Amino acid sequence: MTDEPASAPRRPLTLRDVSDESGVSEMTVSRVLRNRGDVSEATRNKVLEAAKRLGYVPNKIAGALASSRVNLVAVIIPSMSNMVFPEVMTGITQVLDRTDLQPVVGITNYQPDREEDVLYEMLSWRPSGVIIAGLEHSDASRAMLRASGIPVVEIMDVDGEAVDAVVGISHRRAGREMAKAIVKQGFERIGFLGTKMPMDHRARKRFEGFTEALAKTGLEVVEQEFYSGGSALVKGREMTEAILTRDPDLDFLYYSNDMIGAGGLLWCLEKGIDVPGRIGMAGFNGVEFLKGLPKRLATMDAERIEIGRAAAQIVADRASGAVTETGQRIELEPRLQVGDTLRRYKP
Amino acid sequence: MTDEPASAPRRPLTLRDVSDESGVSEMTVSRVLRNRGDVSEATRNKVLEAAKRLGYVPNKIAGALASSRVNLVAVIIPSMSNMVFPEVMTGITQVLDRTDLQPVVGITNYQPDREEDVLYEMLSWRPSGVIIAGLEHSDASRAMLRASGIPVVEIMDVDGEAVDAVVGISHRRAGREMAKAIVKQGFERIGFLGTKMPMDHRARKRFEGFTEALAKTGLEVVEQEFYSGGSALVKGREMTEAILTRDPDLDFLYYSNDMIGAGGLLWCLEKGIDVPGRIGMAGFNGVEFLKGLPKRLATMDAERIEIGRAAAQIVADRASGAVTETGQRIELEPRLQVGDTLRRYKP
DNA sequence: ATGAAAGCGCTAACAC
DNA sequence: GTGTTAGCGCTTTCAT
């Protein structure tokens, strides 16, 4: 019996092993494995066969160190269970799949110090670019991003100062436009339901834009309700019940995201409340999920896939050297989806 | 004007720069930055200040090459937009956060050849371990996993042959137990709704267990409906309508996941169908989401967070050298959640 | 078309 | 407690 089963070698294979096995120099083996430079068909095949026979997997660590090229793109987002960020990832992947770049995801759980750690960790792998959610970062994080010397794209939000490039929508504007659409339908006693603000800058900006636009028409948010943690759908129900108990005369509820909006909508329908005849509702994000509800909640599409695509394109262009420009700014237009809960029945 | 703004240096900083700035040898700088070995408080501070002043971020590529230690754990999953896998990630993160290991996620979109690519890419970074969803992989993937010489944990499913360690539930058993629970309530004309099988081995196994257990009681699935792609909630509605149109006498619908089950439930409630009096329903996964629906869909909890935790623990133990055992097998028990759609009203 | 030598930035191992 | 030396496994560069 041997101590070293073929199935789990103690020492990982190196180029050297493939070189020995094939009788070709390390250098030429390297060229074959990377499709670089001219190699005769004969040696090429010898090498490929040897590599496959041995089950050789190149060591990217050594390769990256030698070439100072790393085909990774750091993607730093607050959460994965949000429905929003997986879609951003879809957009990023769509574009990066056409290049040799690979996304690597880091999760911050909406905590600035966690973001700092994750960023530090990722930058220490010297990625080809960074795509990071939001414009609000700790001073240390911004310093790291600036000092990294690699393309940085801040995504989701354009309301603020960017380190380098930025792709997103204006959440203030999204809030304003929703306010206008609501007022236009004649709603007047408006309640707001959302996340606790400090955790979510984009929700805060939407709220600010919303109240600002209402103020211009002489209206204001007459009741508010906030939550944190827990199942958003359940929270939406609970908050809706709470706010309508406090003020039964509200005629519109604006939710800071679709999930709590969906919860509120389900609750109202169960209670036999006429939506939108008696009360109108709207959420934010435009998640696909809404299509399956009894009524389609009004919402505003946050252009998530498109944001991911555009951000990845900026990184890819810059990493390939084709583009040297920095500080690109792409503002996408949030699209109002009227659905079934915003347009009032004509009396 | 200078060509080289301090904000974006051409050349990334090295240990050497910190050494020069602090007047301490590279080696000692390295020790300080890694908290290794004894360093006097004085030099320690000198180094830390110099590093911070310069904004130095260590190069993990070089570090990993020199030490042949990489604190990354490759996590390979089919999808992020599934609600299931983010929860597995939560469990993994909970455990890894207490170590110096970091998860790196790769997405396969349920495609075996994509899985092969992602795996190859990740292994080439020489991670400390691999956590990979499912037991079904291409021969090449299995060969790579075996040859890697690092801990491999296959998760979610225990029905099959594992490369190394495995943590999950038996989906066949989950299907069997749901069948028994349904039969026990006196349901007899049972329909099944699910994903197209070849894409989803775990759903297939649940279906097999389900039909097998039904057969033992002399029953069978009398109608089936399959889907692929699209919004699961919408698909659930459409499939439910289709299957009940084909066979209006069905008295139970078993869905292969909670999302399509939720769609079906909403559709039935809208149509005024008495659930579970007229027709019973059950899904699979136990997603939190169900709590916010008008009725709680019966389901079976897949123990996702616990699976993530246990898998990460195996990798962490093995990576630390504390445990050398291989081939661990942890089978968790899926828990039936009766909800409101399985227990028949007493007549 | 192929090979030889040097070195990427760091850490292990060993001095002192 | 601190410094020195020799690589880690590749790729770059320059020969041939």
Q: For residue A8, what is the domain's CATH number?
A: 1.10.260.40
Task: List the A336 CA – C5 C1' distance (angstroms).
Answer: 64
pTM of the model: 0.93
What pLDDT is recorded for position A94?
A: 95
What does the pLDDT average to over B213-241? 95
* B82 vs A219 pLDDT, higher one: A219
A90 band by pLDDT with thresholds 50, 70 and 90: very high
Residue A162 located in a structural domain: no
Q: Least CA distance to A62: which residue of chain B?
A: B65
User: Chain C bases under 7 Å from protein CB?
Assistant: 1-5, 7-13
User: Least CB-CB distance to B149: which of A9, A83, A292?
Assistant: A9
Determine, for residues A65 and B70 on separate chains, whether the beta-carbon distance falls below 8 Å.
no
> How is B133-199 classified by DSSP, letter by letter?
E-S---HHHHHHHHHH-S-EEEEEE-SS--SSEEEEE-HHHHHHHHHHHHHHTT--SEEEEEE-GGG
What pLDDT is recorded for position A5?
A: 40
Least confident of A58-67, A273-282, A334-343, B195-204: B195-204
What pLDDT is recorded for position B10?
A: 65
Distance of CA A204 to the CA centre of its chain: 18
Determine, for residues A102 and B121 on separate chains, whether the beta-carbon distance falls below 8 Å.
yes
Which residues interact with strand C by a CB < 7 Å criterion? A 24-25, 27-28, 31, 37-40, 42-44, 62, 65-66, 68; B 11-12, 14-16, 26-27, 30, 33-34, 36, 58-59, 62-63, 65-67, 69
What does the pLDDT average to over B212-218? 97
Determine, for residues A143 and B55 on separate chains, whether the beta-carbon distance falls below 8 Å.
yes
Determine, for residues B61 and A65 on separate chains, whether the beta-carbon distance falls below 8 Å.
yes
Measure the CA angle with vertex B177, ends B172 and B183; round to 5°: 125
Residue B309: pLDDT over 50: yes
Determine, for residues B125 and A266 on separate chains, whether the beta-carbon distance falls below 8 Å.
no
Give the dihedral of Cα atoms B27, B33, B35, B37; nearest 10 deg.
Answer: 10
Q: Does A93 touch chain B (CB under 8 A)?
A: yes
What does the pLDDT average to over B151-161? 98
Q: What is the 3-state secondary structure (H, E, C) of B22-56?
A: HCCCHHHHHHHHHCCCCCCHHHHHHHHHHHHHHCC
Give the dihedral of Cα atoms A169, A170, A175, A181; nearest 10 deg.
Answer: -70
Q: Which residue is nearest to nucleotide D8 (CA to C1')?
A: B66
**Chain B residues with CB inside 8 Å of A148's CB?**
8, 12, 57
Residue B126 located in a structural domain: no
CATH number reported for the structural domain that contains residue B227 in this entry: 3.40.50.2300
- Give the domain-ending residue among A11, A32, A56: A56
Task: List the A72 CA – D8 C1' distance (angstroms).
Answer: 22
Determine, for residues A86 and B81 on separate chains, whether the beta-carbon distance falls below 8 Å.
yes
User: Least CB-CB distance to A292: which of B64, B89, B236?
Assistant: B236
What does the pLDDT average to over B272-287? 96
Q: Does B288 touch chain A (CB under 8 A)?
A: yes
Determine, for residues B107 and A124 on separate chains, whether the beta-carbon distance falls below 8 Å.
no
What's the mean per-residue pLDDT of chain B? 93
Residue A183 located in a structural domain: yes
Range of A242's domain? 171-302
Would you say B29 and B22 are in contact if contact means Cβ atoms under 8 Å apart?
A: yes
What does the pLDDT average to over A139-160? 96
Residue B39 located in a structural domain: yes
Q: Can you give the C-alpha Rg of chain A in angstroms? A: 26
Q: What is the 3-state secondary structure (H, E, C) of chain A?
A: CCCCCCCCCCCCCCHHHHHHHHCCCHHHHHHHHHCCCCCCHHHHHHHHHHHHHHCCCCCHHHHHHHHCCCCEEEEEECCCCCCHHHHHHHHHHHHHCCCCCEEEEEECCCCHHHHHHHHHHHHCCCCCEEEEECCCCCHHHHHHHHHHCCCEEEEEECCCCCCCEEEEECHHHHHHHHHHHHHHCCCCCEEEEEECHHHCHHHHHHHHHHHHHHHHCCCCEEEEEEECCCCHHHHHHHHHHHHHHHCCCCCEEEECCHHHHHHHHHHHHHCCCCCCCCCEEECCECCHHHHHCCCCCEEEECCHHHHHHHHHHHHHHHHCCCCCCCCCEEECCCEEECCCCCCCCCC
Would you say A326 and A146 are in contact if contact means Cβ atoms under 8 Å apart?
A: no
A165-188 confidence digits (pLDDT tens): 999 999 999 999 999 999 999 999
Q: Least CA distance to A140: which residue of chain B?
A: B55
Q: Which nucleotide, over all strands, has the C1' atom closest to the CA of B19?
A: D3
Q: How many structural domains are present in chain A? A: 2
Phi-psi region of A104 (alpha: psi -120 to 50; beta: other; left: phi over 0): beta
Residue A234 located in a structural domain: yes
B288-297 confidence digits (pLDDT tens): 989 999 999 9
Residues 6+ apart with CB under 8 A from A61: B61, B64, B65, B70, B125, B126
Distance CA B193, CA B236 (A): 8
Residue B247 located in a structural domain: yes
Residue B151 located in a structural domain: no
Residue B3: pLDDT over 60: no
What's the mean per-residue pLDDT of chain A? 93
What pLDDT is recorded for position A229?
A: 83
Residue A88 located in a structural domain: no
Distance CA B276, CA B297 (A): 10
Q: Least CA distance to B149: which residue of chain A?
A: A8
Least confident of A192-196, A333-337, B82-86: B82-86
For residue B120, CA distances in Å to A36, B107, B148, B218, B312 come to 20, 13, 10, 47, 21
What pLDDT is recorded for position B345?
A: 57
A347 band by pLDDT with thresholds 50, 70 and 90: very low
Q: Which of residues 174-233 of B touch A (CB under 8 A)?
A: 231-233
